[in-house]
Structure 1
């Protein structure tokens, strides 16, 4: 999260503020800096730092505190936006790409959304009826194959002597599938008959 109105720096910006190359920064200064200055919550790739805290550290002053209360203009990552909105990060990205929510702003090579946009997304009913974030059900959800029920009906008719035996070649032609697929459909249809 980037707090409202706070300039941010990535590690390149921190090295520039210190007046050294990135290599020199990492070799000579980064360990002490990382022990004193915490990255902004939720920042990854790139890790971001509050510019005022960086400047205070570089000048040897006490670090200013970050705002504790949420603000509607705080910038959130896709994961943080999804957590506020009650959907996955991929849903946030898809909604932004399709215009169902604002496109966000780009900073430091990634996209950010305001807390207000995340809360507005949370208030809107979801059009997606799939799994919710954190769902433990990992089984794929497939629609039942209508061909299995149809073939089961024909197998019943054949067993009752009301038609000729069902063959894989007949099903392959009927459903425009390979003979092997037709055999699979027949096997599933027989399995459903055995269960009932």
Structure 2
């Protein structure tokens, strides 16, 4: 999370503020810097640092604390936005790419969303929110084939005895909400099953 209105720096920016190259900063200053200045929460690839904290550390002053109170203009990562909305980070990225939600802003090579945009997305009706994070409904969507096969076998037997409608691939596909190829397989399995 980037607190509202706070300038941020990646490690290249930190080294530039220190007036040295990144490799020199890593050799000479990285350990002391890492002990004094923590990366912003949620930032990774690249790690981001608050510019005011960096400047204070580099000038030998006490490092100021970050605001703790949430603000609508705080910038959140896709993961943090997903936590507010109640969906996965990939759903946030997909919704932003397809225009279903605020596209966010790019900063340091990645997308960020305001807390206000995340809360607005969370307030939308559930049918528009995508897959809920941690959903347990990832099981097979197939219906039991034994029941379908038995029902189709009975229909085939009735059709052969001129007591029912003819069984068609299209009719089976529509009834069981399957592809025509699957409907063909159901009919083939029904023909192989013993008829009563």
Q: TM-score, normalised by structure 1?
A: 0.77
Q: 2: CA distance between counterparts of 1:154 and 1:185?
A: 7
Q: 2: CA distance between counterparts of 1:129 and 1:141?
A: 21
1:76 matched to which residue of 2? 76
Match of 2:151 among 148, 153, 157: 153
Give the 3-state SS of the residue equivalent to 2:29 in structure 1: helix
Structure 1 residues 102-125: Cα deviation after superposition (integer angstroms, max 9, x where no partner): 111110000100000000001011
1:47-196 maps to which residues of 2 (within 5 A)? 47-128=47-128, 131-142=131-142, 144=143, 149=148, 151-157=149-155, 162=160, 186-187=188-189
Give the 3-state SS of the residue equivalent to 1:12 in structure 2: helix
Contact 2:87 2:129 (8 Å CA) reproduced? no
Deviation of the 1:183 alpha carbon: 5.6
Q: What residue ranges of structure 1 are gaps of 5+ in the alignment?
A: 164-169
Deviation of the 1:62 alpha carbon: 0.3
Deviation of the 1:140 alpha carbon: 3.8
1:11 matched to which residue of 2? 11
Q: 1: CA distance between counterparts of 2:54 and 2:99?
A: 36
Contact 2:84 2:118 (8 Å CA) reproduced? yes
Structure 1 residues 82-117: Cα deviation after superposition (integer angstroms, max 9, x where no partner): 111112112211221222221111100001000000
CA 1:153–1:5 in structure 2 vs 1: closer, same or farther (change >3 Å)? same
Q: What residue ranges of structure 2 are gaps of 5+ in the alignment?
A: 162-167, 174-178
Give the 3-state SS of the residue equivalent to 2:106 in structure 1: strand
**2:18 is equivalent to residue 31 of structure 1:** no
Q: TM-score, normalised by structure 2?
A: 0.77
CA 1:6–1:185 in structure 2 vs 1: closer, same or farther (change >3 Å)? farther
Structure 1 residues 126-172: Cα deviation after superposition (integer angstroms, max 9, x where no partner): 33586420124432434x499x83x5334225667945xxxxxx98x
Instruction: Kindly report the root-mean-square deviation, in angstroms, between the aligned alpha carbons of the 2 structures.
Output: 3.4
1:167 matched to which residue of 2? none
2:165 matched to which residue of 1? none
Q: Which moved more, 1:34-43 or 1:128-137?
A: 128-137
